[in-house]
Homo-oligomer: A and B are copies of this chain.
């Protein structure tokens, strides 16, 4: 798989979030995807990952995933991102400064790990009155 293929898969993942299209997001993920919102425990498989994604898509009115930086490693299988994710709720916007790593195999994401500061993001959710179990 080429570097540009791996990058394209991650860009498609981000675009699907911006389209708030759950099926399109899931289509970029492997059935056995391992998702981790570090340092929370990893979530295994598409169904559990869908359970994380679905309430966010359902409750938001718009989403931006601003890609501040994107880079593919030498092997061409791992994509690292620096992002500013903005979740627009009817009551206000939650801004999430985050870095994420995506391991891509056969044009699907098999590992997805996001790194961010939980407490400050939790405060941002609280300010707009949104409670998310695992976000």
Looking at chain A's contact residues, the main secondary structure is strand
**Cβ–Cβ < 8 Å partners of A100 in chain B:** 99
Within 8 A of B (CB), among A78-124: 78-82, 97-101, 113, 115-120
A2 CB-CB contact with B under 8 Å: no
Point out residues on A near B: beta carbons under 8 Å: 38-39, 68-74, 78-82, 97-101, 113, 115-120
22 residue pairs A–B, Cβ–Cβ below 8 Å: A38-B97, A69-B73, A69-B78, A71-B73, A71-B78, A71-B79, A71-B80, A80-B80, A80-B81, A80-B82, A80-B99, A82-B115, A98-B115, A99-B99, A99-B100, A99-B101, A115-B115, A116-B117, A117-B119, A118-B119, A118-B120, A119-B119
Q: What residue in chain B is nearest A120 (Cβ atoms)?
A: B39
Closest chain B CB from A50 CB (angstroms)? 24
Given contacts A71-B80, A80-B82, A98-B115, 4 further A-B contacts (CB under 8 A): A80-B80, A82-B113, A97-B115, A116-B117
* Given the contacts A80-B80, A80-B81, A69 and B116 also touching, CB distance less than 8 Å: no
